[in-house]
Amino acid sequence: MAEYIPSTRDWVREQVELYEGSDGAEGTTLRDTGLPVIIVTNQGNKSGAVRKTPLMRVKDGDNYVLVGSMGGAPKNPVWVYNLRADGSVEIRDQAEVYRMQVREVESAEERARLWELAVAAYPPYEEYQARTTRQIPVFVAEPA
């Protein structure tokens, strides 16, 4: 297994440590929103290192919807490139850990349906999309 390299962002690193260190009992919501998050573990596309990212918990049956919003920044978050390079991930949802395969959503119809689910789970996504000219990438994580 490759080496885990924690995020350079303090809040991300601290949330991952709290979430995993408590076996999913703590750190399971986004800062002060009270909205649930999952931890996505994947491989860095350049470093090959293990990367862990807290993302909003958006469910579609047994699948998870992963949204590359980065708050509506002009660029995609780095994890988007990691998933495009290697779609094998682990998702921690509180105490449960699942091996999953991720694919980027290409169909406009599927994307629209999943985007609606994402916005219902985390309404700021709508504002983030309005803030940027890029189309925010949407991925589906399915049981491996």
Q: Which fold has domain 10-143?
A: Pnp Oxidase; Chain A (2.30.110)
pLDDT value, residue 11: 92
Give, in order, the Cα–Cα distances in Å from 124 to each of 8, 62, 85, 136.
24, 24, 27, 13
- CB-side neighbour CA atoms (13 Å) of 107: 6
Answer whether residue 1 shows pLDDT above 80.
no
Answer whether residue 107 shows pLDDT above 70.
yes
Domain ranges of the chain: 10-143
Answer whether residue 140 shows pLDDT above 80.
yes
> Using an 8 Å Cβ cutoff, are 91 and 98 in contact?
yes
> Using an 8 Å Cβ cutoff, are 111 and 137 in contact?
no
3-state secondary structure of 65: strand
| AA letter at 96 | E
pLDDT value, residue 52: 98
pLDDT value, residue 33: 86
pLDDT tens digits, 35-92: 999 999 999 999 999 999 999 999 999 999 999 999 999 999 999 999 999 999 999 9
pLDDT value, residue 31: 80
Give the pLDDT band of residue 134 (cuts 50, 70, 90). very high
Q: What is the mean pLDDT of the chain?
A: 96
CB count, 10 Å around CB of 8?
7
Percent of the chain clearing pLDDT 90 (strictly above)? 95
3-state secondary structure of 29: strand
Residue among 23, 114, 12, 84 nearest 55 (CA): 12
**How many angstroms separate the CA atoms of 101 and 27, rounded?**
24
